[in-house]
Amino acid sequence: MPDATPGNRRGTPGPDRASLTIVGTGMKVWAHMTEEALEAIRLAEKVHYVVADAMTERRLRELNTAAEQLPSYLPGRPRRETYALWVDIILGSLRAGHRTCAAAYGHPGVFVQFSRDAIRRAREEGFPAVMLPGISAEACLICDLLVDPGPGGWQSYSAALFLSRQPIFDTGTPLVLWQLRVVGQPGPPAEIDRVGLVALTELLLRSYGPDHRVVVYEASRNPAVEPVSQYLPLGQLAGVRFRRSATLYVPPLEG
């Protein structure tokens, strides 16, 4: 009996049927993909993905046998060069006349540059292209830390941007700093950048002081594993151990 997976039921490719849908797989394996994203993956003739774990990769291949992993980060090269390569691969599927889906972990529009670049390029060439939302690390943080960005406002930066621009910010409003591990790294994510982390800590100490309690947060990627929330004084931040996905949450000063 033939395989019924949509990726194996290809019609004749052509420019009239080619389209692009960018989806998010969410943070947690299996549990965070929306029905809309699942449908886009199932119906695609070409699926390109970049995800953070083997379980999500296996799930994508189960949903569609045409799923293919995008190449790894180019060694020793700026991340933007890898992103440009991914966009070229995705556009190649469109030009070949395929109904194309690209999947990225988390929310495909949050810290995912290639997704927006691919949609813009596709639209410029006349192909229909849309992005579907996914459950982001921010959505998980709000739930796990029981914080609300509504009443008191919300300040959100990448750690690298915050350190390089040193913007004026409000210590009476929660501050969220993303991608803490790669605060000073222009290339592929590697080890914790301790030099950059020390500089970031010193910058924050000027406004909050060493005893202000902060949270190093890591969203769970597995339904069987709890999220990690390390509560510690800001003065200890530069020496803390954490994984690549860690985010820094700085509560507002009281009073």
Annotated catalytic residues are: 79, 83, 105
First-to-last alpha carbon distance for the chain, in angstroms, is: 69
User: Is 169 within 8 Å of 175 (Cβ atoms)?
Assistant: yes
**How does DSSP assign the chain, residue by residue?**
-----GGG------TTT-EEEEEE-BSSTTTT--HHHHHHHHH-SEEEEE-SSHHHHHHHHHH-TTEEEPPPPPTTS-HHHHHHHHHHHHHHHHHTT-EEEEEESB-TTSS-HHHHHHHHHHHHTT--EEE-----HHHHHHHHTT--HHHH--EEEEHHHHHHH-----TTS-EEEE-GGGTT-SSS--S--HHHHHHHHHHHHHHH-TT-EEEEEE--SSTTS--EEEEEEGGGGGG----TT-EEEEPPPP-
